Structure 1
Amino acid sequence: MKFKITHTTIYTFDSDVFLEPHYLRFRPKQTPYVSVDCHALTIVFEPIGHKQVLDEENNMVDFCWFEGMTNQLTITATTVLETKEYNPFDFLIYPLQFNQLPLQYDALQKKLLFGTLEGQMISQELLDYGNAILKASDFNTIAFLTQLTKQLHDDFIVEYREVGSPLQPDETFVIKRGSCRDLSWMQINLLRQFGIAARFVSGYYYFDMISPSYELHAWVEVFLPGIGWLGLDPSHGIFTGNTHFAIASSATFENTMPVSGGIRGSATSQLRTQLSIEKFI
């Protein structure tokens, strides 16, 4: 199948501002089951410099710098993708001890995965929630990841919130509701308590709907030897498939923001976004 993704982001300022250099993350990643046929980025107010760079965590980023004053910045990313058949359960965990929790990465793995293992403190109530699922899964790694992801979908209400950082894990747990990024950040910090390397992913997710209305999506990836990075989507209670299109992944959510950059000036801003995903057989 082929997909065309058109993502427009518009910042409007109530007076002229100077744009500092910006990092833009809109380019989907190439994978063995997702091929990026073409990707185009249109920027108005036009930058005087534009370079594609790899960031610290191997994400492809468009780095732009500007000259002059403006009261609007419009970024339109257009991507055409082609997907192949994909079975998220076609894997073998190796070494075999990683089939049981808690995990014990070796010394080199711990160094390379350090940021994705560094969890923040969470409440005993949230930890007890995870431990109950762990025991019910008989400490089996895949059974635990499967059941935890499904349980988060069943126990929490998913709601849309356009802007703002993810809520703290304990806050999401208490109110039993949150955006995709809230649920993902909570799951990441819970997984790290069990020694599982987990990172935050930002991207797009296509699924058939009667009245299409798509938004930027967030999910989780965990590292298991033999598999590599395995995607979990707590908002939908599933492992990710070939219609999850990752853009950026990071140990911290800040490094996955679609637009990072500042302005010089005293203006206030308004943000508008539009996202369409079209499927072609």
Structure 2
Amino acid sequence: MKFKITHNTDYLFNSEVFLEPHYLRFRPRQTAYVDVTDYSITILSEPTGHRVVQDEENNVVDFCWFEGMTNQLTITSTSILETKAFNPFDFLIYPLHFNQLPLQYDELQKKLLFSTLEGQLISQELLDYGTAILKASNFNTISFLTNLTKQLHDDFSVEYREVGSPLQPDETFTIKRGSCRDLSWMQINLLRQFGIAARFVSGYYYFDMLEPAYELHAWVEVFLPGIGWLGLDPSHGIFTGNTHFPIASSAHFENTMPVSGGIRGSATSKLITQLSIEKYK
């Protein structure tokens, strides 16, 4: 199946500003089950320089720099993707001891995964919530990940919030609602408390809607030997499939933001975004 994704982002300034260099993260990642057959990006005001680079965590990023003054920054990316058949449960965890929690990564793995294991302090109430699910799952790794992801979907209301960093995990847990990035950041920090390497993912998610209204999506990936990075979507209570299209992943959510960069000037700005995902022939 083919999909066409068009993502338009407009920053409109009430007076002219100078754009500092920007990192743009809109380019879907090639995976074993998604082929990126075409990609284009248009940037206005037109940058003086534009280079495609890999960041510290191997995400592919468009890096741009500018000259002169402008009152807008408009970014339009268009992607054509072709999906392949994919079964998220077609795997073998190996070594076998990773089937039971707590996980015991070896010393090299701990070094390579260090930033995705580095958790922040969370409340005892949130920890107890995860521990109860862990015990009910008989400390089985896949059962725990499945049950936790589904329980988060059942217990928390998902709401849309266009801008802003994820809420702190304890705040999301207390109010029992949040955006996809709030739920993902809470789950990541809970998983790290149980010694599971977890990272934040930004991307697109297609599913059939009567009235399509897509937005940039966030989910979680955990590292298990034999599987690699396994996707979990707490907003929908599922493992990710072949219509989750990752763009950037990081131990720190800041490194997945679609637009990173500053301006020189005293203007205020207005952000307008529009995202369409459609089946493509």
What's the TM-score once normalised by structure 2's chain length? 1.00
- In the other structure, the counterpart of 1:12 is 12
The total of aligned residue pairs comes to 281
Q: Distance in 2 between matches of 1:261 and 1:10?
A: 14
SS of 1:150's partner is helix
Q: Distance in 1 between matches of 2:11 and 2:209?
A: 29
**Cα distance, 1:32 vs. partner?**
1.0
**Where does 1:1-281 land on structure 2 (aligned, <5 Å)?**
1-280=1-280
Q: Distance in 2 between matches of 1:204 and 1:164?
A: 18
SS of 1:164's partner is coil
**Cα distance, 1:55 vs. partner?**
0.1
**Cα distance, 1:280 vs. partner?**
2.9
Q: Distance in 2 between matches of 1:86 and 1:102?
A: 28
SS of 1:17's partner is strand
Q: Distance in 1 between matches of 2:73 and 2:202?
A: 22
**Cα distance, 1:214 vs. partner?**
0.0
Identity %: 84
Q: Distance in 1 between matches of 2:269 and 2:104?
A: 47
**Which amino acid is the alignment partner of residue 108 of structure 2?**
L
SS of 1:195's partner is coil
**Cα distance, 1:200 vs. partner?**
0.0
SS of 2:46's partner is coil
Q: Distance in 1 between matches of 2:99 and 2:16?
A: 57
Encode CA deviations 1:144-196: one digit per residue, 9 max, x unaligned.
Answer: 00000000000000000000000000000000000000000000000000000
Unpaired segments ≥5 residues, structure 1: none
**Which amino acid is the alignment partner of residue 137 of structure 1?**
S
Let me know the Cα RMSD of the aligned residues. Answer: 0.5
What's the TM-score once normalised by structure 1's chain length? 1.00
Q: Distance in 2 between matches of 1:68 and 1:23?
A: 18
Encode CA deviations 1:9-29: one digit per residue, 9 max, x unaligned.
Answer: 000001000000000000000
**Which amino acid is the alignment partner of residue 133 of structure 1?**
I
Moved over 2 A (4+): none
**Which amino acid is the alignment partner of residue 27 of structure 2?**
R
